[in-house]
Structure 1
Amino acid sequence: MTDIVTRLTGDERAAGRLKGIYSICSAHHWVIEAAMKQALDDDTPLLLESTSNQVDQYGGYTGMKPADFVRFVHGLADRMGFDRHRLLLGGDHLGPNAWRNLPAEDAMQRADALIDAYAAAGFRKLHLDASMPCADDPARLSDEVVAERAARMCAVAEAAAARVGLAEGPVYIIGTEVPVPGGASEELATVEVTHASAALDTVAVHRKAWDARGLGAAWERVVGLVVQPGVEFDHTRVVDYAPALASGLSKVLERLPGIVFEAHSTDYQKPEALSALVDDGFAILKVGPGVTFALREALYALADIECELLAPNVRSNLREIVERVMREKPNNWEKYYHGSDAEKRLLRTYSYSDRVRYYWSDHDIDEATRKLVANLANIGIRENLISRYLPEQYWQVRRGSIDASPMSLIYSKVRDVIRVYAEACRMHTQAK
């Protein structure tokens, strides 16, 4: 298998201990801080990625442009004592996705500006995703069209990196069978695995498009191919990885020197499935909603504890405020959640796609979250209540590995997810 850790990070010491790398796709500061804590304890580099809807040239839903995100993450790293040089920043699903309701050329002009902003800000890993049809496109794009648009974006990135004088050009992720960002919106029972021949054809057609634009040097920095290994989640169910179904696809890597597979939508996979994915060549594991789902679980558990300890007039009322804001501002969920009012209420909180994550920066919700943490920090949390609402954290408190402060409990709950990815990527003496 290609030494993806060295190619991405240049950290040969870490590469000797890692067989893959996980990617945290989140812009939430507590998630990023939890990830930094995990990487510090593991003494590994950390790959953080912002998605094209979180961070773009207009600000995205976080209000941050790419350069703002770099400053934001660097500020967190400095505060957490995490060496900036051990941070690898990536951009996920960069392309015309946010503007696919426009004619293709208009959407691609905006995608060009998006890529330019990411590359100029120093993002090292760029996922070029032109797989979605735009307003005047056919319902399904050919591989040739997707590859040509990706090559166009690569040329923009190369020019931007040269313009700002970056010592190294970006590394690229390509692919045409790209899972929907954030999980499927329809119910799933199975997911078709990418055919081996399709993976080979995808690489060939992209290589041709790169060559046509004189991007041979940039092609040497294509390190990953997004394919579908048969993993996905919808609102209420997870399709688990079945290694036997992807065995033919895994063998393709023998014919693609320098390239590994990047697995999207790995959220909620079982630990043994994540390990099997890395062993089978899916050496970049992406996780996004899974970590913010854990964040929401932690915050709502703390809100339940708050209800046990404090009178109604001094509580944060976080859960009620989140529900109110989501109903008042439904743009980030109403196209995705369907059914009766009762079903939509459940999905707003518990869906695996975790569209609550779009709302944590809302002023009222942010204020309630801070009040919740302050309330519990002031009063203290009894360990028997932690046992009731956060049982895994209860044992960590009992063992002395964390304290019972609300922030320790939040970080720990998020790290429960990240730790499984870290273990899947770790080199073991008896790894197959």
Structure 2
Amino acid sequence: MMTTDTLRALASRHSSGARGGIASICSAHPLVIEATLIQGRNDGTEVLIEATCNQVNQEGGYTGMTPADFRRFVETIAAKTGFDTKRLILGGDHLGPNPWKHLPAEEALSRADVMIDAFVSAGFTKIHLDTSMGCAGEGSALADQVTANRAARLAAASEAAAKRSGFDKPVYVIGTEVPIPGGAMEVVEHLQVTTAQAVLETVDVHRRAFATRGLEAAFERAIGVVVQPGVEFGNENVVFYDRPAARELSAALSRIPQFVFEAHSTDYQPVSALSALVEDGFRILKVGPGVTFGLREALYGLDQIAAFLFDIPDADTLRAAMERLMIAEPGNWEKYYHGHEYNLRLQRHFSYSDRIRYYWPHPKAQIAVNRMLAVLEDMVIPETLVSQYFGTLYPAVANNTLRPTARNILVASIQRVIDDYARACR
């Protein structure tokens, strides 16, 4: 069975009323990847891991990895965890001109062509075509026809690469109402749910754009449409799924039975909301910052435990080290966080948008994390401190199903988030 069969079956499952969806884990952090693969191994399910155009591209992205590098990175962790890579699906998220949108459109799209080729040639088989943003000299939003024409252009590059790759032919996700990667930058109060008519028009305009390029067969492998179901998170708040508000949008799927919806920014939704999203046809649930937020919570909890047990001065803690790093190198947060210094300090460490995640690969951050973990080494953390700082994990520790070492707590804290998605998607 091809790995893409799972994705291509989502629409028929929805049409027949069968349960089930798939979570898309959007992260390049090795502990997140490890926890995800362990979850998939234990559940016996396929795992979908996606890299964004800014994280990974032919120029290295902010991770320094090309698509081929990222594949090797994930497969190395899979080998360590015992996860069968035949059940691994790699996806490219927001693939389009976004990393180069400061350039004229043709130059940005030419670089996007190269990026798409690199992703597909490396065996990424779920391709989200995102050409919704304007480039230099254009408006921030483009007409649907322009977006569709550019998406079809990138699909042509993808199909050409697929013929050479030897991997499964890719499936595609399209859409013109695409949320900002990583969540909104301000407090979110009201969201406009995508209208049913907008979805139908999006599918139609893309179908015609693909046909113009002779890509009818490729369009038959289009499985998803990105829409706004009414979920989002900002720096300080989360907008939760309002099922009645999305009823007409959900009903539109009956008129496009080839498709399901892909929901971005589902981070921090409760299991009940995630389950309702899947049942309503949002069968692909994207999560990224919510998982690394859980990682940061665990790191900071362990930091406090280490400081208490070994009487570590505040200036030598992980939290203090991260504050110094983010103040010295503010490029990843200063455009996104606003307010007085109190608010800025709060957001640097505890924002839902979790822009601290960009700093974990930094050498100074890695030194600070490793120093903190070395202090705890393989010691069994006292149950009372687990109760104090990791209350949700305490029952597993008390039942002897989780040995409370620092590493186990880190992985279990990430899996606690991933398991919400696993339960919603079963």
TM-score (norm 1): 0.94
2:241 alignment counterpart: 241
Q: Secondary structure at the match of 1:89?
A: strand
Q: Which runs of 4+ in 1 moved over 4 A?
A: 14-18, 313-316
Q: Secondary structure at the match of 2:61?
A: coil
Deviations 1:97-127 (A, max 9, x none): 1111111111111111111110110101010
2:7 alignment counterpart: 8
Aligned length: 420
Q: Pick closer, same or farther for the CA change 1:315–1:9 going to 2, 3 Å.
A: farther
CA distance in 2, matches of 1:297, 1:45: 27
2:399 alignment counterpart: 399
Q: Pick closer, same or farther for the CA change 1:317–1:169 going to 2, 3 Å.
A: same
2:113 alignment counterpart: 112
1:49 Cα offset (Å): 0.6
Report the AA paired with residue 346 of structure 2.
L
1:139 Cα offset (Å): 3.5
1:370 Cα offset (Å): 1.5
Contact 2:315-2:321 within 8 A present in 1 as well: no
Report the AA paired with residue 136 of structure 1.
G
User: Is the aligned partner of 1:125 residue 2:129?
Assistant: no
Q: Pick closer, same or farther for the CA change 1:121–1:18 going to 2, 3 Å.
A: farther
Q: Pick closer, same or farther for the CA change 1:41–1:165 going to 2, 3 Å.
A: closer
Contact 1:303-1:372 within 8 A present in 2 as well: yes
CA distance in 2, matches of 1:369, 1:9: 41
1:73 alignment counterpart: 74
Q: Pick closer, same or farther for the CA change 1:254–1:36 going to 2, 3 Å.
A: same
Q: Pick closer, same or farther for the CA change 1:314–1:203 going to 2, 3 Å.
A: closer
2:297 alignment counterpart: 297
1:379 Cα offset (Å): 4.4
Contact 1:38-1:415 within 8 A present in 2 as well: yes
1:353 alignment counterpart: 353
Contact 1:231-1:265 within 8 A present in 2 as well: yes
Contact 2:22-2:283 within 8 A present in 1 as well: yes
1:161 Cα offset (Å): 1.3
Q: Pick closer, same or farther for the CA change 1:389–1:17 going to 2, 3 Å.
A: farther
1:165 Cα offset (Å): 3.2
1:313 Cα offset (Å): 6.9
1:378 Cα offset (Å): 4.6
1:291 Cα offset (Å): 0.1
Q: Pick closer, same or farther for the CA change 1:37–1:153 going to 2, 3 Å.
A: same
CA distance in 2, matches of 1:134, 1:314: 46
CA distance in 2, matches of 1:393, 1:158: 46
Contact 2:46-2:87 within 8 A present in 1 as well: yes
User: Is the aligned partner of 1:335 residue 2:335?
Assistant: yes
Contact 1:9-1:88 within 8 A present in 2 as well: no
Contact 1:291-1:417 within 8 A present in 2 as well: yes
2:162 alignment counterpart: 161
TM-score (norm 2): 0.95
1:377 alignment counterpart: 377
2:387 alignment counterpart: 387
Deviations 1:185-215 (A, max 9, x none): 0221121100000000000000010000000
1:194 alignment counterpart: 194
Q: Secondary structure at the match of 1:122?
A: coil
1:320 alignment counterpart: 320
1:159 Cα offset (Å): 0.6
Alignment of 1:243-258 (within 5 A): 243-258=243-258
1:258 Cα offset (Å): 1.7
1:83 Cα offset (Å): 0.3
Question: What residue ranges of structure 2 are gaps of 5+ in the alignment?
Answer: none
Question: What residue ranges of structure 1 are gaps of 5+ in the alignment?
Answer: 427-432
Report the AA paired with residue 65 of structure 1.
T
